[in-house]
Amino acid sequence: MIKFAIRADGGSKIGMGHIMRTLVLAKELAKTNDVFYICKVNNPLSDKYKPGIDKIKAEGFDVICINENNILEELEKINADCLITDSYDVDENYFMQTKHLFYKTGYFDDMNLYYFDVDFIINQNINAEDFKYNVNNDTKLMLGCKYLMLREEFRNVLKKHTHKKVHNIMITVGGADPSNITGEILSWVKDLEYTFHVVIGPSFNSEYKLEKLRNEKVKLYYNADMYQIMKKCDMAISGCGSTLYELAVCGVPTIGIVIADNQKAIACRMHEKEIIINAGICNQLEKYSFTEHIENMSNNYNLRKNMSLKGSELIDNKGIGRILSIIESI
């Protein structure tokens, strides 16, 4: 039995993406290994980190908390065989130091910013194979949608039927929404003739504003069952993080919004492959062009059907199995 430590954080500023994708791997590793998490904390503990810690504990994993200002010193005290990091709070020194502290190390990457002194890298994004990674000769690279780790409920999805008329549209921007993009979108679309199914992430800090917009055409979901909402909806408006891949698997035609820098290239590639319509960067959106995207997609049955088909063909359900085989062979 191997002892795995997973270092990841989630909260009001950075969202929940690092937590959610590592949990997919953690659950599979935990079937035959010992798995626990390492999370940064501030003093006093705030929404900067608390939602991530709460989610991990709710999924049944132990959490070791480390001081956000002394990460490497704190990691020296950790007893584990393998450290897997999913965080942007790293640099080349971090990878070199942790390589000496643990028997094996791995990293979830999106940006290819450093020389990575690790045993394996996982980049499951659609553009991952474009990167020329600077790594050791024996570093295992798991790149592209072939290694996409789907949550269990998304692994055997039935083919979606494309309706001639759009009735239900999902809105999801991620685990956090510090700029209240969700509220702005709702203010633009509230007069359109659709029912909007709005996902409220665990790190949202302006739910009270959204509650004022709730009515029979605007449904709000806390602790959302994402698969059930996707199954119900004819279209989606989504941030361009990991949710895009789940929408693709479910065959939901999507208007993508770039929420963070690491989503730009993903949105462009998904648009090129006609899996999404890339509406652009969130703080540059305009009401008229955005609602036009919605109406154009809604009124074009063949476009939606084609997007649904291409999305559902992008990913198989074997990514997590491929990753486990490689990690266990290192």
Give the ranges where the chain is alpha helix by DSSP (H). 17-29, 50-58, 71-75, 92-101, 181-189, 207-211, 226-232, 243-249, 264-272, 287-299, 301-314, 319-329
> Nearest to residue 54, comparing CAs of 175, 207, 210, 229?
175
**304 labelled binding-site residue:** no
Is residue 3 left, alpha or beta, with left meaning phi > 0 and alpha meaning psi from -120 to 50?
beta
Three-state SS at 83:
strand
Structure tokens given for 135: 């790594």
Positions marked catalytic? 18
Residues recorded for the chain: 330
> Nearest to residue 119, comparing CAs of 100, 136, 94?
136
**246 labelled binding-site residue:** yes
Q: Report helix angle 17-29 to 319-329, nearest 10.
A: 70
Angstrom distance (rounded) from CA 297 to CA 291: 10
Angstrom distance (rounded) from CA 30 to CA 40: 22
Angstrom distance (rounded) from CA 113 to CA 89: 12
Q: Are 257 and 237 in contact (CB under 8 A)?
A: yes
- Could you list the residues known to form a binding site for substrate, using ranges: 151, 246
